[in-house]
Structures are given as C-alpha cells and as structure tokens.
Chains A and B, each alone.
Chain A
Amino acid sequence: MDSRKKEGQMKTNDILEKKSTRRSFIKKLSIAAAAGSAGLVAGGCVSTGETTEEMGLKWEEYFKKNYRMMTDKEKDETVARLEKLAKLQDDVNIQMSNQEPREKVLFGYAFNISRCKGYMDCVEACVKENNLDRNSKTQYIRIFEMDSGQQDPTSGDGKYHHEVPVENKYYMGIQCFHCENAPCIKACPTKATWREPDGIVVVDYDWCIGCRYCMAACPFWGRRFNWGEPEVPKEELNTKQHYLGNRKRMKGVMEKCTFCVQRTRQGKLPACADACPTGSRVFGNLLDPNSEIRYVLKHKKVFRFKEELGTDPKFWYFMD
C-alpha cells in the first residue's frame, strides 16, 4: 500500500511540474491505482522493478477462468501471457504448451517390483523434469524399501539413505495413481482438479484455492501442497512446460504427478520411466492392444495398492 501511495504522489509531483492537462493527470492516476491493485492481488506489495505491462498481465491472469471453461483462444492467450510473464519476472524464455489429450489414449503405468533396485534415478529425473520445489525438497515419487514377506509399503522404509540394493529387500515406488474413481476430484470444492480424457488427473494451479481437502481425501498420499513460495534455480529450470504440468507453481496451491503431461502427450515416456536404469517402469496406452503395458497386464501377476478402497488406480505392480 505504501508504495502505491508513493507512486501516486510521484505521479502527482511529476504532473505539477509539467503543468499537464487534467485528462493526463486522471489517466496517470488511474494507471497508478490499477498498478497498486494489481500488486495487491499478486502478493500484497509492489516491487520497484515491476512495469505496468507486468501488472496488467497479472491483472488479466487473476480474472481468468478455470482452464476447462476456457475456449481454445483463451487457452492460447493465457499460455502466451504466462510466457511473457516468465520473461518479464524471471527473465527466462519458456515454451508453454496447452496440448490437448490425444484421441483413443488412456495412460496406465506398471511397476516391476522384482527389478527395481531402489537407485532413485526416477525421483531425481522427476524433480528436474517437473520443476519441483528445491526448498522443501518436494518429490512426487517415493521409493519404499521393503522386507521380503511384506506387501504393504506403509510398513516399508520410505526414508532409506544407504547403498542399494540391500540383500533380501525389494523396492516399491509410489506416486499418484491417477485413479479412475479419484476421491480427490470429488473432494475439490472448485473443480480445480479433474481427470483428463487420457486418464491423467491434473490440477489447475491458478484455480486451486488451497483448502487441501483433496490432500485429506487421497488414500495414497499422492498430492503435495506449496506451503511456501517454491524455488527452482534458474539454470536448472525445465523450460519446456505444459499448462497442466510442470509450469511454475505458486505458494498456497496443490500440485501432483501428471504422468509428465508435457512429455507424454507428445508420445514420449514420463521422465521417471525414461530415467529408470533397471527397466522396472512400464508406461503406455491402455487402449492399444499392442502396448507393453497391455502385455504386462495380460501375462504377469499384477496387483494394486489399497484396491479395497475402490478408487481403481491406473498403476499396477507386477513381478517377473
């Protein structure tokens, strides 16, 4: 508020010196007022370096619709605005996509518990690919070290910090299971999280009000909240982004694994499956009878975690 006042005052002094007309005075005053309110929306204070253009963009961003309610044109506009804002605010050139799901695609995942050795290359790749907050060390994926004779990861060790693999242990990866019947989607009061036609459960970060009801509703601990302002070092930023995927998050919103929507909609593997050195991670299109995932589901002994809750996860575990 202070800087808003100052700005107004500065403008007024300026005008008095120049003895300009009343119209320009009003115009400048309204710019100052708009700038002040935009700043208020953006976080309570106007930083000195902020330009009017930036504030205008933020203003439009604040009043935009839920992603699902936008027309294609509006989707293109918001993506362009966010690219411009990234340039203005953080001086980075990002390419943001709003690529729609492809026809006849339903993504599914299978995890080979007899192959995984617990190296956690997947975790690292995920953090980099999805621009996860380095401050809070956010991870979408967690690997649990399990004793033989167990099958429930809640009794495993999710915080191991030693050389792997350990004899007589096996490893189980957990991430968002993109349930067909997801309790998180039902819980959200603003429809800020939903299931895309290709089966990916996504969050519209700008629409999320941060009530965290979805987090309480998820039986798999698949969701993460931005308790503070997330940070990614500029040189480590992945600039290939998707609106529903790895774009910059803000404090106070929910985020989660998106099966790397920015990659998988272009026909690539998710970063975790790509990075896995043991080939434990199988990802593909459940509707394609020739896909590897369909082969696994047909020929291997598979099971799902907490199946009794009836959420119908699209994530299976299997053994060789």
Chain B
Amino acid sequence: MNMNPKKGIVGFTSDCIRWSLSGGLGFKLYIVILLALMGAGVYAYTNQYQHGLITTGMSNIVSWGLYISNFTFFVGVAAAAVMLIIPAYILKDKDLHEVVIIGEGVAVGALVMCLLFITVDMGGPLKVWHMIPGIGLFNWPSSILTWDMLVLNGYLALNTLVPLYILYCNYNNKKPVGWKYKPFVFLSIFWAVSIHMTTAFLYQGLPARPFWNNPLLGPRFLASAFAAGPAVIMMVLIVIQQKTNYLIDKNVFFKLKRIIVASAIINLLMLFSEIFKEFYNATHHSLSAQYLFFGLDGHDALVPWIWTAIGLNILGTLLFAFDPTKCNPKYLMPAAISLFTGIWIEKGFGLIIPGFIPSPMGEVIDYAPTANEILITLGVLALGILVVTLLIKPSLVILQRFKELNT
C-alpha cells in the first residue's frame, strides 16, 4: 500500500485524486465508457436545451416521464445508506461499521443523480435561481417541492461532510473525535427517512391523482428503498471484494441480506395490500392501476414491464430469503440485480407514469421515452456511477492504510 508521508489538506486532496484515478487497463476502460456515456448525454441535452422538452416523449397528459421516475427511485437508494448507519453507529455493529463509508458514497452518487434528473426535467434550468431564498421566491412551507429541495441538499451535505471528516482524520492517522461528527450521524438517520417521506409526499399530496393520493405511498417508498438500496450497496461490495484487496467480512453480506429480506417482504406485503384495494371493488380511482396491470382502452405499454418487475421482485426476495450457498457472492449478485431491477421498474415509471393515465379528463394515451431522453438518462446514470467510483476508491485506500498503521 502507498505509504505517503504528506499531511494536510493539499496532500489529502492530491492523494485522493491520484488514488481515485489510478488503476489498471480494465479500470481505465471502465472510466472511458462512463465518460463516453456522459458525453452522449451532454450532446443529447444540448439538443433538448435548444428545442425544448418537445424532444422527449412527454406531453400535456403524461407530463413527467423517465427523468422524474429515475429521480424518485434514486432518492430511495440514497436513503438506504441509513440501513448501514443505524447498525454501525447505534447498534455498534463492528462489521457494518467497516463498510458504512461505502453506503455513504453510494448515497452521494444517488443524490447527485437525483438533483441532475430534476434539472434536466426543468423547462427553464437557467431560472433555478428563482428558487433561491433571498434573491428568488421560495414557496416554503406551502410547496412540497421546496421541502424536497431542502431535504435533498441537506442530506447531500451530511453525507459528504461526515465521511470527509472521518477520512481526513484517518488520512492524518488520527482517530475522528466523536462529538464532532456523531451528532451529524444521528441527524442523518432522521434526515434519510425524511428525504424519502418528503419525496413520497410530493405525489401523495395530490388529490388530483388518485393513484398517488394514497397514505401507504410514503411507508412503501421506505420499504422498497430499504430493499433496493442495500441491494445496490451489496452489488458495490461484491465488486470491491473481487476487484480490490480490501477485505470485506462475510458477516457483512449476511447482515445486509437480512436487512434486504425483511424490507423486501414488507414491500411485497404493501404491494399486495394496494393491489387488493384497487381491484376487489374497482372504482373510477382504480383506472390507473388497471392501466398499469392490465391495460386500458387498448393501451397497455406498461403491462409487460410491471409484470416483469413483480416477477423480479418476488424472485429476488426468494433468492435472498432461501440462500443455500451461505452468502456466496456469485449467488448474491444475480439476486441483488433481480431485486434492484424489479424495484427500479416498479417504483420508477411503474409509479410515475400511471399517475397521469387516465388524465383528469379521462384520456388514455401511452408514454414512451424518445432516444434523446434515454441518452440523457444514461448520461446522468453514468455520472452517478462515476461519482460513486471516484469517491469510494480513495476512501478504501485511506481506511486500509489507517487500519494497517494501527495494528
């Protein structure tokens, strides 16, 4: 391991940059692919910026699409870091304490994606300053969107500053001082719940859209987030375990698996409760659900997606619940991918698009994203993955070095 005698902020920054960019040919190729995707996204965005959102598949009926769907889902991924923070800091779990920083890195990447998805969805991105209190007008507390802006940016700050402080201390071979960061850790636990509840309230608070106007939405968001988020973290951990020499205890996988199974089962239970309510005595308010699960008036674009999602959801849950291999990464990876993809579809466009169909005036149309829209989405996803990669790499080096110096 690189034993660097440098100290202070300058050394910390330059070393972090060096560590995050160094790697073999495979790593370089991976970075180049991410950069290429981002480049394509930027190109597609200039197109959208010039011609307007007419370049997307959205319309006056389905007025939010792929961007807001992904935004909603990744808020959940960001919130899921708390499922590592609670056991690590409150239950003093040693195993999970080792990987909590990875959860926080994933949260930062997810939040960057969320904020970017909101930005690319805006009609007037240059006018965002209208939202800044003081120079603009901030419709707080009335607009839930302003609440969401506050909690997302606050959570981003918490998840950046706490790990930064700990890493900086470790870099200088010091132990972080508890009172300096612990209060923020506890704050971030409540904050994680609040980002996802607030995002649910964005939709839940609209009587105009019966599909969303449902008190179960917030709790279900949390349950699905606490299944999909740790699934992402598990995927990242498996990659780290196989590609680096950073040691990850087998217990970590075991504990993560337990969290995932519990959350996934609660999520499925709530999904079942919703489906029962929509279909046992179907009303006018069930039309969106009917559109989603079975199609309506000959429009059924989402039907294959939602059944795939439910299939993957159940499959992932079962794979995690009955693991005969006792946490073999080769077994856990497909299980995590299955559950993650299932929830991504179901809570992304499976939740957002049907909210708009039928329209308040009863019209039924299908929504399909355009190629341009998909390119922008892929660009944002690539940026998020890049952020996670570049954050986690130097963190692992610092943590490893600190451990070696102290044994």
In the assembled complex, how far is the CB of residue A161 from the closest CB belonging to chain B, in whole angstroms? 15
Cα(A33)–Cα(B397), bound, Å: 45
A217:B124 contact, CB within 8 angstroms: no
Task: Find B207's partner among A62, A183, A209, A210 (CB 8 Å cutoff).
Answer: A183
Residues of A100-156 contacting chain B, CB below 8 A: 142, 144, 152-156
Instruction: Using A183-B208, A187-B145, A229-B52 as known contacts, say yes or no to A221 and B64 having CB atoms under 8 A apart.
Output: no
Which of B143, B202, B203 has the largest number of chain A CB atoms within 10 A?
Answer: B143
Instruction: Using A41-B126, A189-B149 as known contacts, say yes or no to A309 and B139 having CB atoms under 8 A apart.
Output: no
The answer, yes or no, to whether B355 is at the interface (CB within 8 Å) is yes
Residues of A193-214 contacting chain B, CB below 8 A: 207-213
A183:B130 contact, CB within 8 angstroms: no
Interface size class of B (residues with CB under 8 A): 35 or more
Residues of A250-303 contacting chain B, CB below 8 A: 251-254
A-facing mask of B43-66, CB < 8 A → 1, else 0?
000100111111010111001100
B123:A251 contact, CB within 8 angstroms: yes
A-facing mask of B107-139, CB < 8 A → 1, else 0?
000000000001001111111101100001111
Task: Find A192's partner among B130, B144, B362 (CB 8 Å cutoff).
Answer: B130
B137:A221 contact, CB within 8 angstroms: no
Cα(A267)–Cα(B66), bound, Å: 45
B131:A217 contact, CB within 8 angstroms: no
**Residues of B with C-beta under 8 A to A187:** 143-145, 206
The answer, yes or no, to whether B404 is at the interface (CB within 8 Å) is no
Task: Find B64's partner among A43, A186, A216, A309 (CB 8 Å cutoff).
Answer: A216
The answer, yes or no, to whether B361 is at the interface (CB within 8 Å) is yes
**Residues of B with C-beta under 8 A to A227:** 52-54, 56, 58-60
B49:A66 contact, CB within 8 angstroms: no
The answer, yes or no, to whether A228 is at the interface (CB within 8 Å) is yes
Cα(A44)–Cα(B206), bound, Å: 35
Residue of A nearest to B132 (CB): A190
In the assembled complex, how far is the CB of residue B65 from the closest CB belonging to chain A, in whole angstroms? 10
**Residues of B with C-beta under 8 A to A216:** 63-64, 203, 206, 208-209, 355-356
**Residues of A with C-beta under 8 A to B121:** 211-212
A153:B362 contact, CB within 8 angstroms: yes
B-facing mask of A214-243, CB < 8 A → 1, else 0?
011111110011111100000000000000
Instruction: Using A208-B124, A216-B64, A218-B208 as known contacts, say yes or no to A190 and B361 having CB atoms under 8 A apart.
Output: no
The answer, yes or no, to whether A32 is at the interface (CB within 8 Å) is no
B63:A190 contact, CB within 8 angstroms: no
Cα(A227)–Cα(B62), bound, Å: 12
**Residues of A with C-beta under 8 A to B229:** none
Instruction: Using A158-B363, A188-B143 as known contacts, say yes or no to A253 and B124 having CB atoms under 8 A apart.
Output: yes
The answer, yes or no, to whether B358 is at the interface (CB within 8 Å) is yes
**Residues of A with C-beta under 8 A to B127:** 207-210
Which of B144, B149, B356 has the largest number of chain A CB atoms within 10 A?
Answer: B144
Task: Find A251's partner among B52, B59, B64 (CB 8 Å cutoff).
Answer: B52
Residue of B nearest to A211 (CB): B122
B54:A154 contact, CB within 8 angstroms: no
In the assembled complex, how far is the CB of residue B315 from the closest CB belonging to chain A, in whole angstroms? 33
The answer, yes or no, to whether B360 is at the interface (CB within 8 Å) is yes
B123:A189 contact, CB within 8 angstroms: no
**Residues of B with C-beta under 8 A to A310:** 207
Cα(A309)–Cα(B205), bound, Å: 12
In the assembled complex, how far is the CB of residue B128 from the closest CB belonging to chain A, in whole angstroms? 6
B361:A142 contact, CB within 8 angstroms: yes
A189:B131 contact, CB within 8 angstroms: yes
Cα(A155)–Cα(B287), bound, Å: 12
**Residues of A with C-beta under 8 A to B281:** none
B123:A213 contact, CB within 8 angstroms: no
In the assembled complex, how far is the CB of residue A212 from the closest CB belonging to chain B, in whole angstroms? 5
In the assembled complex, how far is the CB of residue A131 from the closest CB belonging to chain B, in whole angstroms? 17
The answer, yes or no, to whether B142 is at the interface (CB within 8 Å) is yes
Cα(A174)–Cα(B207), bound, Å: 19
**Residues of A with C-beta under 8 A to B170:** none
A191:B361 contact, CB within 8 angstroms: no
Cα(A236)–Cα(B362), bound, Å: 32
In the assembled complex, how far is the CB of residue B72 from the closest CB belonging to chain A, in whole angstroms? 13
**Residues of A with C-beta under 8 A to B128:** 209
**Residues of A with C-beta under 8 A to B118:** 211
A215:B360 contact, CB within 8 angstroms: no
In the assembled complex, how far is the CB of residue B349 from the closest CB belonging to chain A, in whole angstroms? 15
In the assembled complex, how far is the CB of residue A70 from the closest CB belonging to chain B, in whole angstroms? 12
The answer, yes or no, to whether B359 is at the interface (CB within 8 Å) is yes
B361:A209 contact, CB within 8 angstroms: no
A44:B49 contact, CB within 8 angstroms: yes
A189:B126 contact, CB within 8 angstroms: no
**Residues of B with C-beta under 8 A to A183:** 206-208
**Residues of B with C-beta under 8 A to A209:** 122-125, 127-128, 130-131
**Residues of A with C-beta under 8 A to B142:** 186
Residue of B nearest to A229 (CB): B52
Task: Find B52's partner among A45, A69, A189, A228 (CB 8 Å cutoff).
Answer: A228
**Residues of B with C-beta under 8 A to A69:** 137
**Residues of A with C-beta under 8 A to B20:** none
B361:A210 contact, CB within 8 angstroms: no
Residue of A nearest to B146 (CB): A189
A-facing mask of B199-241, CB < 8 A → 1, else 0?
0001100111100000000000000000000000000000000
A210:B123 contact, CB within 8 angstroms: yes
Instruction: Using A142-B361, A252-B122 as known contacts, say yes or no to A190 and B139 having CB atoms under 8 A apart.
Output: yes
A225:B139 contact, CB within 8 angstroms: no
Cα(A218)–Cα(B149), bound, Å: 21
B124:A210 contact, CB within 8 angstroms: yes
Besides A43-B50, A210-B53, A219-B207, 19 other CB < 8 A contacts? Answer: A44-B46, A44-B49, A62-B126, A66-B130, A183-B206, A187-B145, A187-B206, A189-B131, A190-B137, A191-B137, A192-B130, A192-B137, A207-B127, A210-B123, A211-B118, A216-B64, A219-B360, A220-B208, A225-B63
Can you show 19 pairs from A to B with CB atoms below 8 A apart?
A154-B362, A155-B362, A189-B131, A190-B139, A191-B139, A209-B127, A211-B121, A211-B122, A215-B60, A219-B207, A219-B208, A219-B360, A221-B360, A224-B60, A226-B123, A228-B51, A228-B52, A253-B123, A309-B208
Q: Which 9 A-B pairs have the closest CB atoms?
A: A210-B123, A252-B123, A154-B362, A219-B208, A228-B54, A251-B52, A189-B145, A227-B54, A191-B137
